[in-house]
Amino acid sequence: MATTLPTPAPDTDFEDAGHPRRWLILGVLVLSLIVVVLDNTVLNVAMKTLADPNDGIGATQSQLAWLINSYTLVFAGLLFAFGVIGDRIGRKRMLLIGLVIFGVASLLSAYAVSPENLLLYRAIKGVGAAAMMPATLALVRAAFSHKEFPKALGVWTGAVGIGSALGPIVGGALLERFWWGSVFLINVPIVIFSMIMIVFFAPESKGVQGKPDLVGMGLSVAGLVSLTYGIINAGNAGSWSGVGVIVPIVAGLIILAAFVVWERRIPHASLDMSLFTNPRFSASAAIIALTFFGMMGLFFFMTFYLQIVKGFTPLQAGLLFLPTGVALLIFSPLSNAMVNRFGPRVVGVGALLLIIGSFFVVTMLDADTPVGVLIALFFVQGTGMAHLMPPAMNTLMSSVPREKAGVGSALGNTLRQVGGSFGVAVLGTVMAQGYRSRIEEGAPELPDAARESIAATFGLVEQGGAPAGVMDAASEAFIGAMHTTAYSAIGAAVVGLIVVILFFPTKRQTNEAPTPTRAPGPAMSRA
């Protein structure tokens, strides 16, 4: 039976070497994490099919957006609470609980009979993912020394990247041979295998015995859901006026303000607001949110561009996303060496220029763009992300003591998920408004429901409700709207570039442990 022993103090051999099985532990944890990443990217490829009333479930554009947001908002809202609970009851135990919830929800999703059913099951998946994500990175932080952690984080990020890229390929292959539910059913055997590996190889790790901030978590979930709901309604209505838009947005802002006040007043806050007084911490937090705002917002619509405008099959569309994952896998483990050599500011500026350049290329895409341009575009995006995300995440994780690694991991991943969720919602509003205004001019005979998105227009044409020639006008309207949306993403990335220039240090700080006074490190099983 494994015994749980206290981790030696920071100045002992463990801080220099880490857990003796740390690289095996990393591999096991990455395997359990890939199922979460795979599920999200699989869903992106399945969007067109899910929108089809015959082959899918007839989901509208708003419902498609909520299929992503129902997952990410529950995920983001519960991350802090589950991070604190995992630090207290054991991160391995929390990871196994999350895998069980995620696996059951995946099985239910595969046999959903309506968009509403699938939305519910996606939200349940968010619960499972929220239990898993902080635990995986917290276990990595506990297993590795402060010196080796940046390299381990690079490997972790790269593996997640290749998992993201494999999702569309796996999803495309399944959609060509099986029904749409297979893209969710594939999670079940991966979950079972991951659980077996974790039980036998992953050690238990615990941190401080903190009290969960349930009120804070409730406020954050309510505020984010309300705010994003209002933004999505604005996109669907094509207007930022109306009770269904203004009321939830204002309510969301008020609730989030109450969340900040609450967190500043209680001793067991889920989010330590004093962290944001550190310029490096705040800058890294802003970079993570802004980058995922632009990336996820554009990726959501690139699937429709590839499959409807370009006419690629789901598998072909999935293969075109592979260069992003390959770039992440290659360059993420090397990012820390680049930071050590050139400094965080130079690397951050270079990475953001690559991302901005890739966004700019999107503004020039059309129906005849060669495949080689798309491959280069996705590879450049992945290269930029690989040099930006690991250093930013390392700053966040290093800002909290090791015994609170679950909270640090939760914070970083909340920023990623909330940033991506807002990207889909806000850029989705820009996209919907741009498409609707253009298609009204190009095909005024279409009914209002078919003007909602190119997927809705395509669905009407496939059902014989509109002539095939309408798709030429729809493609032109979509491309124009996509260009406008890409410029909006560039705006967010430029803000991130300014943050890097102003607040990122010019030289790499030494690999020393965080300076704040720390309690004894987390307990970790050595058997």
Query: DSSP alpha helices (H): ranges in 463-514?
Result: 470-503
Which pLDDT band holds residue 400 (cuts at 50, 70, 90)?
low
Tell me: do 304 and 453 sit in the same domain. Answer: yes
Percent of residues, the chain, with pLDDT higher than 70: 84
Average pLDDT over residues 454-459: 76
Q: Are 458 and 473 in contact (CB under 8 A)?
A: no
142 assigned to some structural domain: yes
Q: Are 94 and 220 in contact (CB under 8 A)?
A: no
Residue where a domain terminates, one of 181, 207, 233: 207
Q: Are 408 and 397 in contact (CB under 8 A)?
A: yes
Tell me: do 182 and 224 sit in the same domain. Answer: no
170 assigned to some structural domain: yes
Tell me: do 221 and 291 sit in the same domain. Answer: no
Q: What is the pLDDT of residue 97?
A: 93
9 assigned to some structural domain: no
168 vs 332, which has greater pLDDT?
332
Which pLDDT band holds residue 209 (cuts at 50, 70, 90)?
low
Tell me: do 123 and 260 sit in the same domain. Answer: no
Two structure tokens written together for 412: 């970083």
List the single range of 1-5, 31-35, 203-207 with lowest mean pLDDT: 1-5
Query: DSSP alpha helices (H): ranges in 269-363?
Result: 279-304, 314-331, 335-342, 344-362
Q: Are 386 and 335 in contact (CB under 8 A)?
A: yes
3 assigned to some structural domain: no
Two structure tokens written together for 372: 């080689």
Span 250-303, pLDDT tens digits: 998 899 899 889 888 887 776 777 777 777 778 888 888 888 888 777 777 787
Two structure tokens written together for 50: 């899910």
What's the CA gap between 478 and 454, in Å, rounded? Answer: 7
Span 135-171, pLDDT tens digits: 887 788 777 877 777 777 777 777 777 777 777 777 7
Residue where a domain terminates, one of 156, 182, 207: 207
Tell me: do 330 and 309 sit in the same domain. Answer: yes
What's the CA gap between 250 and 304, in Å, rounded? Answer: 32
Q: What is the pLDDT of residue 247?
A: 92
405 assigned to some structural domain: yes
Tell me: do 128 and 256 sit in the same domain. Answer: no
Average pLDDT over residues 462-477: 77
Tell me: do 355 and 235 sit in the same domain. Answer: no
Q: Where are the beta strands (DSSP E) in 136-227?
A: 205-206
CA 240 to chain centroid: 26
450 assigned to some structural domain: yes
Q: Are 134 and 86 in contact (CB under 8 A)?
A: yes
DSSP helix/strand/coil, 525:
strand
Average per-residue pLDDT in the chain?
78
Tell me: do 288 and 192 sit in the same domain. Answer: no
Q: What is the pLDDT of residue 508?
A: 56
Half-sphere exposure for 483 (CA within 13 Å, toward CB): 11
Boundaries of domain holding 263: 211-267
Q: What is the pLDDT of residue 360?
A: 92
Tell me: do 219 and 355 sit in the same domain. Answer: no
CA 277 to chain centroid: 25
Candidates 300, 281, 282; CA nearest to 394 is: 281
How buried is residue 360: exposed, middle or buried, by Cβ count under 10 Å (0-12/13-18/19+)? middle
Residue where a domain terminates, one of 221, 246, 267: 267
Q: Are 226 and 248 in contact (CB under 8 A)?
A: yes
Percent of residues, the chain, with pLDDT higher than 90: 9
Residue 513 has pLDDT above 50, yes or no: no
The helix-helix angle for 470-503 and 279-304 (nearest 10°) equals: 170
What's the CA gap between 435 and 429, in Å, rounded? Answer: 10
458 vs 407, which has greater pLDDT?
458
Which pLDDT band holds residue 526 (cuts at 50, 70, 90)?
very low
Residue 6 phi, psi dihedral angles, 5° rounding: -70, 140
Span 99-138, pLDDT tens digits: 999 999 999 988 888 888 888 898 899 899 888 888 887 7
Which pLDDT band holds residue 379 (cuts at 50, 70, 90)?
very high
Residue 523, strand partner residues: 6, 206
Tell me: do 357 and 417 sit in the same domain. Answer: yes
The helix-helix angle for 279-304 and 344-362 (nearest 10°) equals: 20
Q: What is the pLDDT of residue 1?
A: 40
List the single range of 81-85, 198-202, 404-408 with lowest mean pLDDT: 404-408
Span 130-139, pLDDT tens digits: 888 888 877 8
Q: What is the pLDDT of residue 436?
A: 83
Candidates 401, 409, 408; CA nearest to 522 is: 401
Report pTM.
0.76
Tell me: do 391 and 449 sit in the same domain. Answer: yes
Residue 498 has pLDDT above 80, yes or no: yes
Residue 500 has pLDDT above 80, yes or no: yes
8 assigned to some structural domain: no
Tell me: do 330 and 223 sit in the same domain. Answer: no
Q: What is the pLDDT of residue 159?
A: 75
Residue 412: CATH number of its domain: 1.20.1250.20
527 assigned to some structural domain: no
81 vs 251, which has greater pLDDT?
251
Average pLDDT over residues 35-56: 75
Q: Are 97 and 131 in contact (CB under 8 A)?
A: yes
Number of compact structural domains in the chain: 3
